[in-house]
Amino acid sequence: MAIAKAERLMNLALCLLGTRRPLSKRELRGSIEAYMEAGNDESFNRMFERDKDDLRELGLVIETVENLDGETGYLARRDSNRLPPVSLDAEEAAALGLAAKVWQQARLAGAASGALQKLRAGGMPEADNPFEGQHSAIEPRIPVHEAAFEPLMLACRDRRPVVFDYRKSTAARPETRQVEPWALECWRGHWYLAGHDRDRGAERVFRLSRITGKVRSRVGKYTADVPDVVTVRETVAAWAGESAERSALIRLRAGAGYPLRAKATAVREGADGWDELEIPYGHGLDAWLVEFGPDVVVVEPADLRADVVDRLRAVAAG
């Protein structure tokens, strides 16, 4: 179905770009095989209007012209749909080359490499890359291992609502979430999605590694406005206690909880197989500590200890 629609859109675009005069619906229907196979005029009209809107959304400038007989015609003038020549200096070309390398481990590797080849074929300079040479052993990479990444990336691009099953760190089972996706961002080696949670009626951030099963698309428009700036990283950092002004004292089993040790502002090794750590205490720290299970015991403050105990009891109750 997707291939058939893509071919139909391509044929319509070629017809509109290749004509010197406006073409009526009747002429377009007689020129495109998929339209000729439409069962009746109503089916054709619906198909044509959707295709015309899709092409306009993709950026094709389609003019609507009425002739002397009052019949409406359509055309896409080449001068209105011609992009200006690509002009990049050496530094801009080097930056694009670096950006393409970032995606080599992701599903976007083919698209990034293909885009770079087309730009070079169009005259982009093969400048000396300051990021190569003696530093070529150190190259940026964005790891993308989660199966949810690609469908969510496309949903963010197309502004399409999605549904997926999500397991919170404190829950024994996943629950279904209906989300209007806004943006994806990588932070500390993990991918996060920010969007509007329809069931909760508020902005939420989801860690992709906790999405289980397939991401399913839903028809319809967004019900909430998309912010001009989506602060995924700042939101996750706040939940992880990065902006915390308080400290928490925890006991951590020796040889366990290395992410907690990396955040610690002070570590005191114990002789009983447990170490004491002081770590920043901010919103969401209780959920993070629960992930370490029996390897962590909260000493203080009391409210953090109570929150962790409540979350553990909820998980145990299942």
Whether residue 262 is predicted with pLDDT greater than 90 in this model: the reply is no
| Residue range 32-57: mean pLDDT, rounded | 88
Count H helices and E strands in the chain, helices first.
11, 12
What is the pLDDT, as a whole number, of residue 244? Answer: 62
Could you say which DSSP state residue 108 is in? T
Residue span(s) of the chain under CATH 2.30.30 come to: 148-240
Whether residue 164 is predicted with pLDDT greater than 90 in this model: the reply is yes
* Amino acid sitting at position 299: V
Q: What is the mean pLDDT of the chain?
A: 81
pLDDT single digits (tens) 12-26: 999 999 888 899 998
Residue span(s) of the chain under CATH 1.10.10.10 come to: 1-82
What is the pLDDT, as a whole number, of residue 137? Answer: 47
What is the pLDDT, as a whole number, of residue 231? Answer: 75
Whether residue 128 is predicted with pLDDT greater than 60 in this model: the reply is no
- The third-level CATH classification (topology) of the domain covering 148-240 is SH3 type barrels. (2.30.30)
What is the pLDDT, as a whole number, of residue 134? Answer: 43
Whether residue 4 is predicted with pLDDT greater than 80 in this model: the reply is no
Q: Which of 34-43, 159-168, 169-178, 188-197 has the highest mean pLDDT?
A: 159-168
What is the pLDDT, as a whole number, of residue 291? Answer: 83
- The third-level CATH classification (topology) of the domain covering 1-82 is Arc Repressor Mutant, subunit A (1.10.10)
Taking the C-alpha atoms of residue 45 and residue 49, their distance in angstroms, rounded to an integer, is 6
Nearest CA to 147 out of 117, 106, 88, 109 is that of 106
Lateral strand order in the sheet of 266-268: 266-268, 274-281, 246-253, 296-300
pLDDT single digits (tens) 266-281: 999 988 899 999 998 8
What is the pLDDT, as a whole number, of residue 114? Answer: 66
Nearest CA to 304 out of 237, 245, 267, 250 is that of 250
- Asked if 244 and 288 count as a contact pair (C-beta separation under 8 A), the reply is no
As a dihedral over the C-alpha atoms of residue 11, residue 16, residue 20, residue 22, rounded to 10 degrees, the angle is 130
Whether residue 99 is predicted with pLDDT greater than 70 in this model: the reply is no
What is the pLDDT, as a whole number, of residue 267? Answer: 92
Whether residue 205 is predicted with pLDDT greater than 70 in this model: the reply is yes
Could you say which DSSP state residue 208 is in? G
- Asked if 194 and 205 count as a contact pair (C-beta separation under 8 A), the reply is yes
Lowest mean pLDDT among 137-141, 149-153, 224-228, 229-233: 137-141
Whether residue 136 is predicted with pLDDT greater than 60 in this model: the reply is no
